[in-house]
Structures are given as C-alpha cells and as structure tokens.
Structure 1
C-alpha cells in the first residue's frame, strides 16, 4: 500500500525534475569553494590516526549533508503542504491505506530523493579522486540511513508545525549542524560539553560513517552510527504515525 504513495510522488515530480537540483547543488558548491578552494591552503586533518587531504576530509561530510538535504526537503516542507493545504492525506485515508502506510510511504520517498542526491555526489567524489577506498560504495546505504533518520524525525516534527513561519526552527537546527558536525574541521577543538552535544546529532553520526567508509578507515564508531541512525529513524516514523492518527482520525 505504501508504495502507491511513492509512485504518486514520482509522477508529480516527473515534470519538475529541476526541483531536485536545489538540495544537490548546495553541498557541491560547498565542496568546490571550501573543500577545494580553501583546502589548497590547509594541509589536511587527521582521520583515525592518518592525515588526509582537506578535500578528502570535507567531501564525505558533504555527501552526508547531501543525503540530509534530500530527506529533509520532502519530510518537512512538502509534507506540511500535503497535510495542511493539499489535504492529500485526508483523501488517502478514504482508501484502504492507513496512517502507517502514509508514514512509511513518505519516508520511503524521502529516502529515494536522498539516495538520488547521494548517488550523484558520490559519483562526483569518485571522479575527483576523493573516494580512494573500495568501501566507499557502502557510503550509499549509509546515506540511506542518514535519510531515514532525518526523514523520520522531520516528518514527526512537521506534524507540530502551525504555519510556514515555524519552519524557521528547522533552518535554525540544520545550519549549525551543517557547519559544526565535523564537516569542515575536527570537533576535538570544542569544549567537552559542546563536543558531546555535537556527537549525538544525526548529521555528525552520518559524517563519521561516510568519512570512515570513503577513506577505508572503519572503526567501532561506524557501528555505533549505524545503530543510532536506524533507531532514530524508526522512532521518528512511529511518533509521526501516532501524530497522524491524532490529527487525521480524531
């Protein structure tokens, strides 16, 4: 049942493919301007005891950010429009589909969009020589886990939004994560309390996972990140379904 919602979204976006570029190009611009431009003046950073070039340090972080952008765009702004204005879910519930199908379908579509972004970005990294290890191919399923975490939590939080102005809080949360989740510099420079806060954010876990996979320096931190992202995504989906039950069935 949930797959029907994914097919519906694919048909809607078939003639609006250019919309996908908005979330993909931002990390690409970051990579070229900071990873390559500024990176020419920075020798590199240490990853698990090995110093890597700055561009190779930044690229996997931008890969994780690309997956995040793809998932967040659909699981927040678009879901809010479908819920509050298009009344799409009210129409869906007139069919045999349930709120569970809606939650799974929306998250699946967000994963698909995030996966498209990640595939394109990883291909760009490979062409630039920024994915030296064969384990880099595993960064694609890792990006799906990042998308799962952000889509699940994003959908749940969106059910509490009252107006478009409330999305300022989404931007307020995403921008610091993009800048300070170990994307452009190691977080060991932060005070211990700040470092702990950063380490529990989903983007940081995604950055760690993608960086270790693309460089081939896999540690136990990768396993922690996988479990964390799965748990966060499934929890978000469960909470989102309960909120949809309350909003649409009562």
Structure 2
C-alpha cells in the first residue's frame, strides 16, 4: 500500500490497482452510452425467442408427442424445450458480448489501457463488462419469458425464477468467456470458442432428456455448464424441486466465482505488467 501526502496534514492512501472495486458502474455506463445509438441490436434480440418458439410450436411440436418432463409428468415438447432455449440464449448472449467485444476492446481499441489511466482498476473492468453482459442478457431473458407466458408455456408460479437463473447463467458464461478472450491472439481463434459453445448447445439436453445417452456419455454431458442451467430451469418451469437442484445451483455459482477471479487476474497481469 502506498501513502501519498498531497498537502501538509492530509494523508491519501492509494490501493494497488488490482484491488480496486467500486467503479464498475462507470464501465457499465460507458457500454450503455456506446449502445445508445444501436438500439436495433436489442430489438433483434427480443424477436429471436419468438422465432425459436414459433418454429417449435408450428413445426417440431406437431411432429413430436408429449414427452416426459421433470418429476415424470407429461408435457408438450415445446414446453420441454422452451426453458432450455432460454438458458441457451443467456449463454450465447453472454459469450458473444464477453468474447468478441472484449477482444477488440483489449487488442485493438486499447479501451482498457485508457480505463486504467483513470482510478478504474482491473477488477472494476471485469465486473463492469460482466455486469453489462448480465444486464443485456436480462433484457433478453425477460423478453423470452414474456413470449413463453403469451404462448401458454408457463404452468407454475415458480417459473418466474427462470429470469434470475438466466442472469446467473449469463454471469457465469460472461466471466469465463471474458477470461478466454484474454488468451486469444487473433480473430481466427474465435473458432475455438464456437467449438466449445456449439456442442454444449446441441448436447446439453436442450432438445432431449439425459436418458437418451449411454451411461458413459451421461457423465460427459453432466460436466457441461449449460446442462446444469437447463436442468435447473426445466424443473423450475413446472414447479418440481429436488436436492439435485442445489448441485446445479452450486455448479453455476462456482463457475461464476472462478471466472471472475480468472479474468481479474488475467487483466491485472496483462495490463499492469
């Protein structure tokens, strides 16, 4: 800790930049101002869930009979898929914002170098960028939930918790995605991000239950972060509770904490060295 004495009788203590926390709102404010002229981006994100659910309602929903949902109760295929699509939407939005945008700010625009010339520290940058991803994901989650409600896919009062869970999923993936973005050297390496995200979207029980997999593959699928978000949302959507939900929640919380720690350490190392 450094002690400065700007004038006689006054002591000013300055913390190491890596410990700054409390100015993350300024990073969020910057993102809001940057996107204020691109509001059509948010409108497109609102229509995405509508197109998805309509496609399943009109198309796949008529080809597939009722399926067995959480707790063994039958439910329509659209109602089975809808919570999974909400979780996937939270993941995709968070990964997009925390990788592509962060990479270009970090490597080309040098936005974070300019921020660190102010009282903002690396932890503030990490919290601010992740908070913006969560805020944007929250808008999409509310829109998605409203579409589900309008289509009659909400059958339990507990389904209102889908939005907070979507925020947690967005936070966890944004933190991990931002950490990964600090390791990328060129835009071509974004293919590695898609190589991780696409299998999770397709195989994390998004479109079918875990029981369709052989026993060995079930263990692999249960390691996917998105699987835990989908299972948590699917059970909340019908008001079914069990002990396994605590494990799903703990997994996402641990992932969020690990990602936040990782990105703050990476930014401190890369921007302050």
TM-score range (shorter-chain normalised) is over 0.9
**Do the aligned residues in 2 keep the contact of 1:72 with 1:150 (CA within 8 Å)?**
yes
More deviation, 1-10/65-74: 65-74
Residue of structure 1 in register with 2:268 after alignment? 245
Q: How does 1:120-199 map to 2 (within 5 A)?
A: 120-199=143-222
CA RMSD after TM alignment: 1.4
Q: Give 1:27 shift.
A: 4.5
Residue in 2 that maps onto 1:75: 98
Q: Give 2:224's match in structure 1, choosing from 201, 217, 241.
A: 201
Task: Indicate the residue corresponding to 1:99 in structure 2.
Answer: 122
Residue 22 (structure 1) shift? 5.1
Q: Max radius of gyration: which structure?
A: 2
Task: State the SS of the aligned residue for 2:240.
Answer: coil
TM-score (norm 2): 0.88
Q: For residues 118-137 of structure 1, give each alpha carbon's deviation from its aligned partner in whole angstroms, at most 9, with x where no partner exists.
A: 11000000000111100011
Asked whether 1:236 is paired with 2:259, we answer yes
| Structure 1 segments unaligned to the other structure (5+ residues) | none
Q: Which residue of the partner structure matches residue 30 of structure 2?
A: 8
1:117 aligns with 140
Query: Which string of whole-angstrom CA distances, capped at 9 and with x for unpartnered residues, describes residues 175-201 of structure 1?
Result: 111111111111211122221111121
The TM-score normalised by the length of structure 1 is 0.96
Give, in angstroms, the shift of residue 35 of structure 1.
4.8
Going by fraction, where is helix more abundant, 1 or 2? 1
Distance 1:212 1:24, change over 3 A: same
Deviates more, 1:122-131 or 1:28-37: 28-37
1:77-131, Cα deviation, whole Å (9 max, x unpaired): 0000110111000000001111011111111111111111111000000000111
